[in-house]
Amino acid sequence: MSTENLVEAEILDNIDPLRHLRVDDEAFVPVQPPTTHRQIQPLSFGDVHLDLLVDAGPGCGGIAWPAGEVLSNYLVHKGPEYLRHKRVLELGSGTGLVGLVAAKMGASKVIITDQLPLLDIMNQNVALNGLQDSVVVQELNWGSEIPSLGEIAMVLAADCVYFEPAFPLLVQTLVDLAKLAGPKCDILFCYKQRRKADKRFFALLKKQFTWSDVGEIHVEDGQERTYNREGISLYRLKAK
């Protein structure tokens, strides 16, 4: 099995631990669709509510990941002035969650991007939440040329560090976007710590960017919390 398949397999195992037993007619467990199969998940971040179609079928991006929820919470916590009139681009959007929240918080245009298999669920989530006027779905494979996207004031990425061969590609895309968008562009990068190899991502990132913790405090479930917790860190990147 290639490294890509191993990482993908590990993530899918978390979603459906019995999936290896469902391989064919001889299997111990009858073949089933993925555990998360076209479900609508209602999600709330403060006063922002949305319905998210989740489906593990198109791959690991088809469900909402924890760093995406943390970044969504942060955007809501910052209030509507933070995103008003801004054009935003999200990398590795998966279901589109973070970008949809950015649109609900008043961004003038949000470009949610991912690889081809995810575009359908992203489009469905845009329609499900009635955000066709402000959100566009665009294929963007890290490391490949950035399509012409117009001015970008903010780049968002959540839970995008998990597959080692993609590390240089993701860094390259962040570099390309930072150049295109210019120094005023805010890059929010929400990272969930998973494996030791992640260090290699940050070694590559360090050659091109500096970053700082977004250590702001907010109240959640009546308790004061920061955005860096439970292995999740929210960073603001600056190109060197």
Q: Which residues are annotated as a binding site for S-adenosyl-L-methionine?
A: 65, 92-94, 114, 142, 158
The CB-of-207 to ligand SAM minimum distance in angstroms stands at 19
Residues 90-119 that bind ligand SAM (CB under 6 A): 92-95, 97, 114-115, 118
Question: Hey, which residues between 208 and 227 contact ligand SAM (CB under 6 A)?
Answer: none
Closest CA to 134 of 156, 113, 114, 104: 104
Q: What is the C-alpha to C-alpha distance for residues 140 and 169, in angstroms, rounded to an integer?
A: 11
Q: Quote the distance between the C-alpha of residue 127 and its chain's center.
A: 19
Size of the site for ligand SAM (CB under 6 A): 24
Closest alpha carbon to 155 in 226, 215, 95, 107: 107
Enumerate the known binding-site residues: 65, 92-94, 114, 142, 158
Please identify, using beta-carbon distances, which residue of 44 and 141 lies nearer to ligand SAM.
141
Q: Please report where in the chains the tokens 């050659």 appear, as a residue.
A: 207
The answer to whether the Cα torsion of 89, 224, 230, 34 is positive or negative is: negative
Query: Does 126 help bind ligand SAM (rule: CB under 6 A)?
Result: no
Task: Indicate the length of the chain as a whole number.
Answer: 240
What is the x/- site pattern for ligand SAM, positions 186-205, by CB under 6 A? --------------------
Least distance (Å) between residue 100 CB and ligand SAM: 11
DSSP bridge partners of 233:
191
